[in-house]
Structure 1
Amino acid sequence: MTLTRTWTPTFPVDVRTTVGAHRRGTGDPSTRFADDGSVWRATQTPDGPGTLHLRAHAGSVRAQAWGPGAAWLIDQFPDLLGAADDPAALDTDHPVVRQLQRRARGLRLGRTDRVWEALVPAVLEQKVVGTEAWRAWRYLVRRYGEPAPGPTPAMHVPPPRREWAHIPSWEWHRSGAEPVRMRTITRAAGMDVERGADHLTALRGIGPWTEAEVRRRALGDPDAVPVGDYHLPSVVGHTLIGEAVDDAGMLELLEPFAGQRGRVVRLCELHGTRPARRGPRMSVRDYRAM
């Protein structure tokens, strides 16, 4: 059975850019961008697995959904596209930020309302480059997730929370995730994180960076700042003042935007100035060969 709904927002929505915050690399088996401009997303809902297909046309967004979670996805997708977001809350005369806002017309901070599916890839991304984390995410989702319902392009739904605790240690090794990240995820799998999104740092192995990454995606928090990121302070610094800063410097630059700091970070990530690469890059490790 296919459920369909058309939503006509009263504001511009860039579907790909908004949903793109939830895609973990171009090979993410749970989120795909089609050649026709539409977006596919497979996820675990409170009602079970489901697949969502979004296509924008003439100011409206047409959604189709399949699987046990189809009704939940059809009800929730406007929030995924930022229906509850308020970009106008970032009211500033900062010339650089205003320019970023103009370039990002249609960007919304959407929310998935699925804390666990934001938490797992965030933990996999702890203190490693994206390539390494996304490789592990692809392997584990394809190996332990089920095929996505509906006419999907070879997609998989990520495993439900409790199943992550039963993934054998050798499969984590094959994914390229080392024991520290494995233990953090398997311990968290025993907790009902959906009800405790405001207390994630109480879990061992989850710090402010991970919590902010989860809040950005699962809750659409416009003020969440991932402190401790390898690249982010440099991007924010170069964008706003033309030079690199550390975490303390980044927080100082973002202070005038309190309440909307995460939105400024997202604008910098998408349209900011990236410094020239002169120093050593953070290396891609491969634990599978160890």
Structure 2
Amino acid sequence: MKQSTKLLVLLVALVIAACSTEDDSNQPPSNTNTNIETSVNENPSSGDLVTTITSNLSGDVSFSISSQSVSQAFTLDSNSGELRVAAWQVFDFETNPVITATIAISNGTESENKIVIVTLNDMDDIWSFLNTSRQSYENASNGQWIAITQSEYHDLANYLFEVSKCGTTDAQYNRNDPISYDTPYYTYANDNGATVDAQQYVFAFKYICDEDNLTNTKVKLSSTSVSEGYTNLGGDVPMHNSGENYFVLKGNNTPTTDMSYMAVGAERFGYFNGTSGFSFKYGAYDVNELPSNWPGIALYQGLTTTLKQWD
């Protein structure tokens, strides 16, 4: 009797174990959250591959973005799992050093989530936005001005962090007035409110001239007044020709300490003559004091930022 009872108990245990195993195999696995960590250089191109999502789920799976920390940062191929750059402008180290996305994966019956953590590598932002002029920038030493293109200047103005404009505002610079030119070398500083704030880095400028093969053009800053106290910012501007010219300064490591004025010295410098309500100070040749005053707007503009975004 005792032997029969033992056999019965063993049989029941085997049946329970078999049923338990069968039930477990029919249950879908619980959702899992697995982090995928990667890094990319800031300022990438739209369409650049960030990473490829993989899954442990069986069969055909589909991928979708359920959330992302920065809107429109990523696109995701629902079949391949390729996560790519969408809005490249948000891949900016100064504003979004880390961007994340939650990826939902499903095979129709089972599902899992993965979190992608993308760390941005801090790059020389000026270098990033130069194409035609990149080699010249790479070859230059700190403190040198480099000639750049119009589109490069505009990209720097539009995409670097917290950029301001000095020398002239866009409205002052882009007036539809006749342009005058003085033949001798003069240093000009606009007295029009477009100053350089304290703790700003000047990193680029543009101006208009009417002479080819110009040399000795200089950029100056003064925190004393619009009329005096100017010192050179960087070395001489490289040789350039008539028209609108654009330049970038490599490696400016010194921000302004006080509110400052920007001046430019050159031959055949363009200006709006007799413009009502505006005036500029000027002095003959490469000088640091500008004793004379003239009604008008000297045609130059500088770019500044509160944050050093270059090597």
What's the TM-score once normalised by structure 2's chain length? 0.22
Q: Which of the two has higher C-alpha Rg?
A: 2
Which is richer in strand? Answer: 2
